[in-house]
Structure 1
Amino acid sequence: MSKLIVIENIVVRQDAFGRYCLNDLHRAAVAQSKVTESQRPSVFLRSEGISAFAQKASKASQSASVNIIKGGLESGSWAVELIAIRYAASIDPAFEVQVYERFRDSVKSNNGALVEKVQAGLALLAFYKQELRIAPSAIKARKIAVSDREKQQVAFEQLSQQIQAVSALDARHTRELENDKNLIAQLERDVADGRRRLQINAIYPAVPTGSPADRMDDAARPRLDYTAQRNYFTLRHRIEIAEQKINGLQDYVRQVVLFHQQEVKN
């Protein structure tokens, strides 16, 4: 899973392919009063040098280095790390250094991952209390009275078990999602190279009798245009992501929430 990156209390989001939201970086720069209207992500990406650079990066990685989404929750400009850092540099050198350090820390810091897991565990406990309404009296109703120190130890062990369970679920579904993404990416490459084809239901246009294109084998074969083909694979990606999220939530409820609820009842 992607690391959590925060600049000036602004969370810089990442999509399923690791691209960063340039609009979030722009908001972080606005918070520091370092950006102008001409430095918006849309203007930056249209510049000649960046457009050529993005094409080279896409060709080298065999995947889109830039993705622009119009409308919806994910609306904005998304770009790989190299382009995100170049965008930060176009705003202000000091801001570039700040963004680079955040990106570097997110990769090299092992402690950051541990903190995120602990925070996730605390969030889960808050979720239990609010959604399942586990009252403190339910814990006090246990037959065996324990000391305050023993209660803390029990709570710590439960938290550790829950974090381990959530981490295991997260790792499994992340692997499955990565496999699905690789499979779709390979399918997209096969279609682009002509090794596979997309099948669609189509109606051949009527050909006037007696015309040179009177036979079906003379007519042009119907196919998806470039935009429709790209949207097809984007939809496939999002379906796989949504499916893994749903499966992960279902496993979380079955293996963590309900299990914890049963322990409290006992």
Structure 2
Amino acid sequence: MKELAVFDTPVRIDDEKFISITDIWKAAKAAGRNVDNLRPTDFLRSPVTRSFINELIKGGESTPFRIIKGRNGGTYVTRFLAYEYAGYIDPAFKVGVYTVLDKFFSGEMITLASYMAEANMADHILKEESAVVSDCARTMNYWGIGGRKRQLVNNRQEAYARLQINVPGLE
């Protein structure tokens, strides 16, 4: 089961790509539309919808809808019936639903999600490597001129100087 956001409300799509128009109804309600008399069951009983369902069946769709009872149930329909239901609610709402569902079914939404994941991964790698480079820069700065390197060179020169045997008269 997948979920899409329609007007910031989750809409479930099952593994057979049936869309929950119960969730679309909830999205319309959340978007401020008066949909109390536009429930999915009323839509399916409508004579216009019945004619449309008959045409879908003639076109090869054996079962364009299913009703699942229970707490997490709902009315699930095929893509074309979901578009019809969104138009049944409101033409402007239909445009929004059509846009989201079309991007999902065309694969564009999946592509956008993969681009987002790629961008997030690049951002993560950049932050991680920046931290490593910053640590290296601090170490190099500590090592550099006037730092640890100079101290070690001075210690070495002092040790060599102590090792030198001075023969009087030879310099």
Instruction: Give the TM-score normalised by the residue count of structure 1.
Output: 0.41
Question: Which of 89, 94, 97 pairs up with 2:95?
Answer: 97
User: What amino acid sits opposite 1:8 in the alignment?
Assistant: F
The 3 A distance-change label for structure 1 pair 105 and 38 is same
User: What amino acid sits opposite 1:68 in the alignment?
Assistant: I
- Give the structure with the larger strand fraction: 2
Q: CA RMSD in A?
A: 2.8
User: What amino acid sits opposite 1:112 in the alignment?
Assistant: L
Displacement of 1:55 in angstroms is 2.7
Displacement of 1:16 in angstroms is 2.2
State how far apart, in whole Å, the 1-side matches of 2:80 and 2:21 are.
Answer: 12
Displacement of 1:56 in angstroms is 2.5
Displacement of 1:11 in angstroms is 1.6
User: Match of 2:62, SS?
Assistant: coil
- Number of the residue aligned with 1:83: 81
- Number of the residue aligned with 2:17: 18
User: What amino acid sits opposite 1:91 in the alignment?
Assistant: I
> Larger radius of gyration, structure 1 or 2?
2
Q: Is residue 34 from structure 1 mapped to residue 33 from structure 2 by the alignment? A: yes
Q: Is residue 112 from structure 1 mapped to residue 92 from structure 2 by the alignment? A: no
State how far apart, in whole Å, the 2-side matches of 1:151 and 1:79 are.
Answer: 51
Displacement of 1:149 in angstroms is 1.8
Q: Say if 1:14 and 1:20, in contact at 8 Å, map to a contact too.
A: yes
Displacement of 1:29 in angstroms is 0.4
State how far apart, in whole Å, the 1-side matches of 2:74 and 2:2 are.
Answer: 20
State how far apart, in whole Å, the 1-side matches of 2:41 and 2:51 are.
Answer: 15
Instruction: State the Cα deviation string for residues 56-93 of structure 1 (Å, max 9, x = none).
Output: 213423431010111153x1111111111111111111
The 3 A distance-change label for structure 1 pair 115 and 63 is farther
Displacement of 1:113 in angstroms is 4.2
User: What amino acid sits opposite 1:111 in the alignment?
Assistant: T
Instruction: State the Cα deviation string for residues 100-133 of structure 1 (Å, max 9, x = none).
Output: 11122222515324157x39x99xxxxxxxxxxx
State how far apart, in whole Å, the 1-side matches of 2:2 and 2:36 are.
Answer: 29
Q: Say if 1:3 and 1:113, in contact at 8 Å, map to a contact too.
A: no
Displacement of 1:27 in angstroms is 0.9
**Which blocks of at least 5 consecutive residues in structure 1 are unaligned?**
123-147, 153-266
State how far apart, in whole Å, the 2-side matches of 1:105 and 1:3 are.
Answer: 14
Where does 1:221-236 land on structure 2 (aligned, <5 Å)?
none
Displacement of 1:4 in angstroms is 4.8
Q: Say if 1:70 and 1:76, in contact at 8 Å, map to a contact too.
A: yes
**Which blocks of at least 5 consecutive residues in structure 2 are unaligned?**
122-127, 133-171
User: Match of 1:5, SS?
Assistant: strand
State how far apart, in whole Å, the 1-side matches of 2:2 and 2:60 are.
Answer: 21
State how far apart, in whole Å, the 1-side matches of 2:23 and 2:8 are.
Answer: 11
**Identity within the alignment, %:** 28
